[in-house]
Amino acid sequence: MTRFTYKKIDYQLYESSLVGVKAYASSNNGQVTEDEEGDTGSGLSYGEYLQLDRLLSSQQCESDKHGKEIHDEHLFIIVHQVYELWFKQILHEMDSIRQLLSSVPFDESKQLIVNRRTSRVVAIMKICVEQIHILETMTALDFSDFRDYLAPASGFQSYQFRLLENKLGIKPVSSE
């Protein structure tokens, strides 16, 4: 059994059957926790493997910290966290591709692997472009409701995006 809390409701998931889901009120402030009581000892659970307790509790809205919950800030955080996860996967694939291509002489038996991983990067990039439409469901006014809480943070500060640009050979704009 895995127990987690989301939006002040405790959920108990029985891995053997999703029919066994039950929910009851909790005072855990919406924090996600995992309770391994009742675990059958059958090994790693889905939640443990994906570290869902950490992942699902990492959306900390700045507006909440100021006592003003702004609904769309949660969406904004999720979308940008997903971008960062996709950037991480793209970098992982690109490093692998570069390593495979750097062997001298090139091992042609690895060409299919390179092609598959390159196709994967392209597919992820397409998802990243499509993901923008989710943010477009939030108006500029919705964003301005919480933007001041984020200063001076900006998407331009994404380390992984800059690393991706660098690995693609995009040179930084000179400040000269």
Predicted confidence (pLDDT) per residue in 65-99, tens digit:
999 999 999 999 999 999 999 999 999 999 999 99
| Cα maximum dimension of the chain | 64
Between the alpha carbon of residue 59 and those of residues 33, 63, 86, 145, 163, the distances in Å are 14, 12, 17, 17, 24
pLDDT band at 4; cut points 50, 70, 90: low
pLDDT band at 156; cut points 50, 70, 90: confident
Query: How far, in Å, CA of 88 to CA of 109, rounded?
Result: 26
**pTM score > 0.85 for this model?**
no
User: Which tens digits make up the pLDDT trace of 101-129?
Assistant: 998 998 899 999 999 999 999 999 999 99
Residue 82: CB partners within 8 Å, gap ≥ 6?
A: 131
H/E run at residue 94: helix 71-101
- The confidence score (pLDDT) of residue 154 equals 87
Domains and CATH numbers, the chain: 2-52 (no CATH), 71-167 (1.20.58.480)
